[in-house]
């Protein structure tokens, strides 16, 4: 139920590498105090820095961890090799902080099923150890950064169901293994995997701009046509009046023509009414 922006300070997290972790963080030593309090049977194990003892009844902690699109329970020493952030299935909004690209040792990043907007940060190309990157089911826009092809450890990549546009990254290295389902739900993405030619697809911003331009041109064309028609109509009327005023012969011919038209129309209307009356009487 988290909502709001993803804090950029998450990029300041210090994730120790495997070499930086001490052996003492891997095992529990049975000191004299522990031996007095917990009289477990102990067995001796050889470790890299010498002999260490710990209870054979020591219970490993198990946690649920989602990575590579699958969720499993993990326990024991393997947890020391796993670093990830899972903020999926929340109500997070705003843009993805570019500072998350500073987490160079992270193995899994899941931001799916939120309401995130903006572009995919190109700084994600610094996540050299990442194995799973899931940004699906958001409202991300823009192009997928081509710099992501440098992520040689990436095994799962999912940006499905966003508003991404443009060409998908080159199908080389790890990106040559991703299939169509990694990009589905983005109607303006193009590429060989999606069976869409990029030369025939325009991004949403381009389409909207073209539509707006056409709409504005249509308004201007309609206005110009109305003005031109009105001016032409007035000019024709003034020309007729001027000619009839200057030439008496044409003026008499014009009025005679108008009179004949009126008489013809009157007789035509009268004849039609008479024919209709006779028809009704006969029926």
Q: Are residues 266 and 164 in the same domain?
A: no
Please say which residue of 141, 172, 201 terminates a domain.
201
Q: Which of 168-177, 191-200, 212-221 has the lowest mean pLDDT?
A: 212-221
Rounded average pLDDT over 34-60: 47
Q: What is the CATH number of the domain that holds 97?
A: 3.80.10.10
Q: Are residues 11 and 144 in the same domain?
A: yes
In a domain, 217, yes or no: no
Rounded average pLDDT over 20-47: 41
Rounded average pLDDT over 11-34: 52
Q: Which of residues 210 and 77 earns the better pLDDT score?
A: 77
- Percent of the residues in the chain that have a pLDDT greater than 90, as a whole number: 33
Rounded average pLDDT over 35-43: 41
pTM: 0.57
Q: What is the pLDDT of residue 30?
A: 40
For residue 198, give both structure tokens: 């990029």
Q: Which residues constitute the domain of residue 277?
A: 247-283
In a domain, 141, yes or no: yes
Q: What is the pLDDT of residue 33?
A: 40
Q: What is the pLDDT of residue 121?
A: 95
Rounded average pLDDT over 208-231: 62
- Percent of the residues in the chain that have a pLDDT greater than 70, as a whole number: 68
Q: Which of 9-23, 93-107, 233-247 has the lowest mean pLDDT?
A: 9-23
Q: Are residues 9 and 149 in the same domain?
A: yes
Q: Are residues 144 and 265 in the same domain?
A: no
Strand-strand pairing, 91-95 and 163-167: unpaired
The pLDDT tens digits of the residues spanning 96-149 come to: 999 999 998 898 999 999 999 999 999 999 999 999 999 999 999 999 999 999
Residue 211, pLDDT above cutoff 70: no
């Amino acid at each position: 139920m988290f909502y709001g922006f993803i804090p950029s300070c998450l990029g300041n997290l210090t994730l120790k590498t495997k070499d930086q972790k001490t052996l003492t963080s891997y095992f529990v030593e049975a000191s004299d105090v522990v031996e007095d309090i917990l009289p477990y049977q102990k067995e001796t194990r050889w470790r890299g820095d010498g002999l260490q003892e710990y209870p054979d009844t020591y219970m490993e902690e198990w946690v649920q961890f989602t990575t590579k699109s699958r969720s499993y329970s993990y326990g024991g020493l393997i947890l020391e090799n796993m670093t990830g952030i899972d903020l999926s299935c929340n109500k997070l909004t705003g843009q993805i902080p570019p500072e998350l690209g500073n987490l160079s040792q992270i193995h899994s990043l899941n931001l799916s099923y939120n309401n995130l907007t903006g572009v995919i940060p190109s700084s994600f190309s610094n996540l050299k150890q990442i194995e799973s990157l899931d940004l699906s089911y958001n409202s991300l826009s823009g192009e997928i950064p081509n710099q992501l092809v440098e992520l040689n450890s990436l095994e799962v990549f999912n940006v499905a169901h966003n508003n991404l546009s443009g060409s998908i990254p080159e199908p080389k290295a790890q990106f040559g293994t991703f299939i169509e389902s990694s990009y589905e739900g983005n109607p303006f993405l193009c590429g060989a995997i999606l069976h869409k030619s990029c030369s025939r697809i325009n991004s949403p911003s381009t389409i909207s701009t073209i539509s707006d331009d056409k709409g504005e041109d249509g308004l201007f064309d309609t206005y110009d046509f109305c003005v031109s028609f009105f001016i032409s109509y007035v000019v024709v009327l003034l020309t007729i009046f001027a000619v009839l005023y200057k030439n008496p012969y044409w003026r008499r011919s014009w009025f005679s023509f108008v009179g004949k038209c009126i008489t013809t129309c009157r007789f035509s209307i009268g004849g039609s009414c008479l024919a209709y009356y006779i028809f009704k009487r006969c029926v």
